[in-house]
Amino acid sequence: EAHDSGLNPKDFIEKMKQTNQLIMGIGHRIKSLANPDQCVELIKQYAKKNFKSMPILDCALEVEQLTTRKRANLILNVDGCIAVSFVDMIRSCGAFTREECDDLMSF
C-alpha cells in the first residue's frame, strides 16, 4: 500500500499512526533486530539474488528501519516478507501485466 500510493515510508507510518491502524507484516513477539528471523533473512537474500527488481521489499525494509527506532521487535516479519516478495516477483518476472498482477493481489 505504501509504495503504490506514492507515500514515502515515513509518511506511510504517520498515516497508519493517525488512523490507529497496525502495519501488517511488521512486528514479532520474539524476534528483533538483535535476534532476526532467519527465514526472513533467507527470503531477502533470495529476492536480492533472483528478482529483477524489488521496490516493494525495499519500501518494506525502509519502513522497518523507521519502526525499529521505536521498538526493536517492530521488524519485517516472515508473513510480511513473503507477501512483499511475492508482489515483487510477479511484477518483475515479465509473465504478467500490471493489471493482471493487481487482479492477483485483489483476492
pLDDT tens per residue across all 107 residues of the chain: 788 888 999 999 999 999 999 999 999 999 999 999 999 999 999 999 999 999 999 999 999 999 999 999 999 999 999 999 999 999 999 999 999 999 988 87
Separation of alpha carbons 76 and 85, rounded Å:
12
Helix (H, G, I), strand (E, B) or coil at 21: coil
The pLDDT score that the predictor gives to residue 106 is 83
- Helical spans, DSSP H, in 26-72: 38-50, 55-70
User: What pTM was computed for the model?
Assistant: 0.90
